[in-house]
Amino acid sequence: MKEKYDAIVVGASFAGLVFSCKLAEQGFRVLVIEKEPAQRVGCDYLVEDALFRIPGFEFTSDLRNYSGAPQLIMISPDMRTQISISELPMGMINARELSETLFDRAKSSGVEVRMGCSAFGVEIENGFVVGVKTSQGNFPSRIAVCASGAERVLCRDIPIGMGIPRQVGLNDRMTIYREVRNVSSFGGSVDELKDGVLEYYVGRYGGFCWVFRRGSESIDIGVATHAALGNSNPREIARGFIRSNPIVGDRILFSGGGSIPTRRPLNTMVGSGFMALGDSACHANPIFAKGIAGAMLGASIASDAAALALETGDVGVEGLWSYNYEYMRQRGSTMVDLDALRIFLHAIGEEDFSWLMAKGLLGEEELAKALSGRTVFSGDSAGVRGRLKALGNFPLARRYSRALRFAQRAQELYGQYPSSYYPPEFSEWSQEADFLFANIRKVLST
């Protein structure tokens, strides 16, 4: 019989590697299972500043490059309103370097990594997850961790009674496609796209698009669409832009895409012998689908909870509960604020989105906060309230005001998240949260 691992992590994602490093460095036996045969190739990403404040993960200047952080402009769907973001607590990070750094640290910490190994389910015994089923056999575990991104491999196999949804609906997903290409020396002028300026075209296709030119070296193009809009293929939209802009070259330096859950965090991210991290736990920014910082912060919190549970011998829901509570306290209430705004923005058309930007209801402050994962509808939103009052009885202004009130109620509710696991209390809280967001979707969509 195979020796039991303290933790088996499915997915060598940023979240999975942060979790594994921290746990192994405390002396626990950790196995990481990754279906890809080799490390994934990445490129530069704009990430929230929270990434650089994770205890024990201070990154070098090769990874954290604020000098290369771009100027950013938000452009309305009708192209008439352009808002420059002057202060943004974010930076560019080299994803390839970050991945290599985390892999090296994991291996030096004693983490066992199995590349090219696919997980396809969990083993259950007496209501506990006790192992992971893989293409290389079954491996017993004290804690199984799903860090496999939007695929949510293990989440799809756990018992429904654990309270973790097996699927995330299309209404709560974005489909993203991104290409980085060379700058063509034929046709067009490089001045047609501003150098060093990241242009975000917001409110398009239920999501956003972006274009970023780096001198004469490369052009970064991306499209994110609301997954429920099945006729909006982000790859085809991106390719349409490429075909219409002759300065975009033929050589593809990077391409990638996929589906990202963009909703509030799961009501619970733990079960008996089980934890979910990153996109598997819906940790991405609900509006702009940025997930690296939130995933790594959540993984750090989860690792601390797992270490304590393993030390005390309680890997049940109660023993792992501090992960839920600390994540909700540190980040969850902000994400529900953004989720309420996301639901509202999905319910209005591009014309209304443009109107909100033109009238200053979605101004520099609101857009900067949404992009960087900060609370937009805070209790002291005097500026927004003042602008709403000045606009009077416009129907869209009234809907926006309702969204503000819903967001504040959601923040209050998540501020009351149970600090410990008592089933009747959690059941009541969970029902109230589900009802609130069902009501948000119903009211804001009419």
pLDDT tens by residue, 201-223 = 999 988 999 999 888 889 999 99
Main-chain dihedrals φ then ψ at residue 13, nearest 5 degrees: -80, 175
Q: Which of 304, 330, 356 is the last residue of a domain?
A: 330
200 and 163 housed in the same domain: no
pLDDT of residue 422: 96
Kindly tell me if the per-residue pLDDT of 64 is higher than 70: no
Distances (CA, A) of 137 to 117, 118, 121, 129: 9, 10, 11, 16
326 and 370 housed in the same domain: no
Query: 160 in a domain, yes or no?
Result: yes
Query: Angle 395-414/333-347 helices, nearest 10 degrees?
Result: 160
pLDDT of residue 234: 94
User: Could you list the residue range(s) of the whole structural domain that residue 96 is in?
Assistant: 5-68+89-168+264-330
The mean pLDDT value for 98-123 works out to 93
Are 92 and 45 in contact by the 8 Å Cβ rule? The answer is yes
- DSSP conformation letters of 349-374: -HHHHHHHHHTTTT-HHHHHHHHTT-
Give which of 12, 11, 13 is closest to 292, Cα–Cα: 13
The mean pLDDT value for 355-381 works out to 82
The total of structural domains in the chain comes to 3
253 and 268 housed in the same domain: no
Residue 263: enclosing H or E segment and its boundaries? none
pLDDT of residue 283: 96
pLDDT of residue 37: 84
Q: Which of 261, 283, 308 is the last residue of a domain?
A: 261
Kindly tell me if the per-residue pLDDT of 147 is higher than 60: yes
pLDDT of residue 444: 85
pLDDT of residue 161: 84
Query: 307 in a domain, yes or no?
Result: yes
Kindly tell me if the per-residue pLDDT of 66 is higher than 80: no
Kindly tell me if the per-residue pLDDT of 380 is higher than 60: no
Query: 164 in a domain, yes or no?
Result: yes
CATH number of domain containing 214: 3.30.9.10
Query: 83 in a domain, yes or no?
Result: no
For 55, the 3-state DSSP assignment is coil
Kindly tell me if the per-residue pLDDT of 83 is higher than 70: yes
Query: 25 in a domain, yes or no?
Result: yes
**What is the distance between the alpha carbons of residues 249 and 111, in angstroms, rounded to a whole number?**
42
274 and 252 housed in the same domain: no
Residue 421: enclosing H or E segment and its boundaries? none
Give which of 251, 242, 197 is closest to 221, Cα–Cα: 242
pLDDT of residue 16: 96
Query: 75 in a domain, yes or no?
Result: no
pLDDT tens by residue, 223-271 = 999 988 766 899 999 999 999 988 899 999 999 999 999 999 999 999 9
46 and 123 housed in the same domain: yes
Mean pLDDT is lowest, of 51-60, 115-124, 153-162, for 51-60
- DSSP conformation letters of 268-312: --EETTEEE-GGGGT-S-TTT---HHHHHHHHHHHHHHHHHHHHH
pLDDT of residue 395: 81
162 and 300 housed in the same domain: yes
Q: Which of 330, 349, 383 is the last residue of a domain?
A: 330
pLDDT tens by residue, 389-398 = 666 657 888 8
Give which of 323, 325, 312 is closest to 276, Cα–Cα: 323
For residue 303, the cross-strand partners are none
- Residues 386-402, buried b or exposed e (16+ Cβ, 10 A)? ebbeebeeeebbebbbe
pLDDT tens by residue, 322-352 = 999 999 999 998 899 999 999 999 999 899 9
- Mean pLDDT for the chain? 89
Q: Angle 351-353-357 (CA atoms, 0-180°, nearest 5)?
A: 115
Query: 80 in a domain, yes or no?
Result: no
Q: pTM for the whole thing?
A: 0.93
Q: Which residue has the tokens 């293990």?
A: 154
Kindly tell me if the per-residue pLDDT of 190 is higher than 50: no
Q: How large a percentage of the chain has pLDDT more than 90? A: 65
